[in-house]
């Protein structure tokens, strides 16, 4: 197995390039990434969804894995977080601006 070449802040940077499948905003700006931890070759991501029956869950997992694989991460664990729940307060300032120009107010 390839060792992970990224540290935690680099993983956050990479995840900033993974877009929400329904809106032109990254998962990070959307506030969906709750935590990132790297231990040896293992990368663990804690992810909160905006809805319990999120129709895009399969895409989000796929997109995260594809993005991190490009950086050489092989052992990727994605854990869903329901407590605390995702709320719109988690959306970043930049995210709010993007959504408002796209026609959504939050």
Partner 1 sequence: MATLSDEALKQKIEKGHLIETTEEMTEGYKKALIQILLVQADTELMSAPSYYMAARSAPSMNTRLSAYAVIQDELGHAHITYQLLEDLGMDKEYLIYGRKPHEFKNPYGFDQPLETWVELVVANAYFDRAGITLLGDPFENTSYGPWKRSLVKIDKEELFHLRHGEVWMKRLCEAGGQAKEEIQRAADWMFPMGVEWFGMPDHLKRHTAQLEYKLKGKTNDELRQIWLSAVVPLSESCGIHVPAHFDEAQQEYVLDYEFPVDYDPSQKRWKFDSPVSWDQVFERWKKRGPYNEIYVKSIQKHYKDFMAMLNGGN
- The residues binding partner 1 (CB under 8 A) are 21-22, 53-59, 62, 103
| Backbone CA torsion sign across 26, 18, 5, 41 | positive
User: Of all helices (H) and strands (E), which one includes residue 8?
Assistant: helix 8-15
The residue among 1 and 53 lying less far from partner 1, judged by its C-beta, is 53
Q: Return d(Cα 89, Cα 93) in angstroms, integer.
A: 10
Give me the least distance between CB of 80 and partner 1, in Å please. 11
Give me the least distance between CB of 39 and partner 1, in Å please. 27
Give me the least distance between CB of 30 and partner 1, in Å please. 15
The residue among 21 and 46 lying less far from partner 1, judged by its C-beta, is 21
The residue among 4 and 67 lying less far from partner 1, judged by its C-beta, is 67
Q: Return d(Cα 80, Cα 101) in angstroms, integer.
A: 29
The residue among 4 and 18 lying less far from partner 1, judged by its C-beta, is 18
Contacts of 92 (CB under 8 A, 6+ apart): 28, 29, 31
């Amino acid at each position: 197995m390839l060792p992970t070449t990224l540290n935690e802040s680099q993983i956050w940077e990479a995840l900033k390039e993974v877009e929400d499948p329904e809106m032109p905003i990254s998962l990070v700006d959307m506030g969906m990434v709750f935590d990132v931890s790297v231990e040896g070759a293992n990368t663990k991501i804690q992810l909160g969804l905006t809805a319990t029956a999120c129709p895009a869950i399969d895409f989000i997992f796929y997109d995260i894995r594809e993005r991190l694989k490009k950086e050489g991460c092989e052992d990727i664990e994605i854990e869903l977080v329901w407590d605390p729940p995702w709320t719109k307060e988690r959306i970043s300032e930049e995210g709010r601006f993007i959504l408002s120009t796209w026609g959504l107010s939050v």
